[in-house]
Amino acid sequence: MTHYPKVFIYDLDGVITDTAEFHFLAWQKLAEELGILFDRQFNEQLKGINRMDSLDRILQLDASQPEFSSEEKEKLAARKNDYYLELIEAINPSHILPGIETLLKANKAANVKIALGSASKNAPAILEKLGLTSYFDYIVDASKVEKGKPDPETFTTAAEALGISYPDCIGLEDSAAGVEAINKANMYSVGVGDPAHLSHAHYLVADTSALMFDEIIKQYQTQQEREK
C-alpha cells in the first residue's frame, strides 16, 4: 500500500510570501542607527534565523559596539520589529507567492492537514493580511518555540499539536537552516530555491511556481519506498 503523508508544514517567509525585503529594510534601519554597516549579502545569513539570534549576528559585525544587556537587546529587537510592522502594513493577497494558493487548495482537497512553521512572531497577522488563515489547521510561530531553526522544534511542535508522527510530515522551506530543521525532525524536506544552499533537501524546486501537490506526493512516496 502506498504511504500518504498526513500534514504539510509550510514556512512563511520565502515560501508563502516574501517579507524578506521588509526584514532587511527594518534591520538596516536599526543597524544604521547603531552605526553598523549592514548589507544585503550579510542579510542572506539571517534567513530562517529568529529575531534575537539575528540581532546578535548584526552586533558582532562591529567590534566597537558596547556590551548590551539582555534587556537592552530586547528593546533593540522590539524597535526593529516596530519598523518591520510599519512596512508590512502594505501586505495583501497580491503578495502571495506564485503557485502557493493553488498548492494550498490541492493540499486541502486531499484532506492532508496544513500547518505553518514560522520563525516570525508576526506570522498569524501576516497570514490574516494575505487572506490565507482559513487554510491552516495549526500555526507555529516564534512565541510557541524556545529553539529556532535549525533546531527541529518548530516542525516537531506542529506535528505533536496535530498528533502526527514525524515521518508522516512534509516540510516546505527556502532556507538552509529550515531544511536542516526538517531533516533533523526525521520529516521529508521540500526546498525552494538555490541548490548551492539547499542541496540537503530531499526534493528541490527552483521557485514556488514549481511546487505541484501531486509531484511532491510522488517524490515523498518514492523516498518512503526507498527507505523500506
What string of pLDDT tens digits covers the 228 residues of the chain? 568 999 999 999 899 998 878 889 999 999 999 999 999 989 988 877 888 999 999 999 998 999 999 999 999 999 999 999 999 998 999 999 999 999 999 999 999 999 999 978 889 999 999 999 999 999 998 888 989 889 999 999 999 999 999 999 999 999 999 999 999 999 999 999 999 999 999 999 999 999 999 999 999 999 988 887
Instruction: Give the contacts of 178 (CB within 8 A, at least 6 positions apart).
Output: 11, 48, 149, 150, 171
What pLDDT, on a 0 to 100 scale, did the predictor assign at position 19? 84
Do 27 and 43 touch, CB atoms closer than 8 A? yes
Which three three-digit cell numbers place residue 94? 497580491
Which three three-digit cell numbers place residue 7? 500534514
What pLDDT, on a 0 to 100 scale, did the predictor assign at position 153? 96
What pLDDT, on a 0 to 100 scale, did the predictor assign at position 2? 64
Q: Tell me, what amino acid is at 37?
A: L
Instruction: Give the contacts of 159 (CB within 8 A, at least 6 positions apart).
Output: 7, 9, 115, 165, 166, 168, 169, 185, 187
Residues listed for the chain: 228
State the CB neighbour count (10 A cutoff) for residue 201.
25
Q: Alpha-carbon distance 195 to 205, whole Å?
A: 9
What pLDDT, on a 0 to 100 scale, did the predictor assign at position 46? 87
Catalytic residues: 11, 13
- Identify which of 88, 85, 82, 80 has the alpha carbon closest to the alpha carbon of residue 59: 80
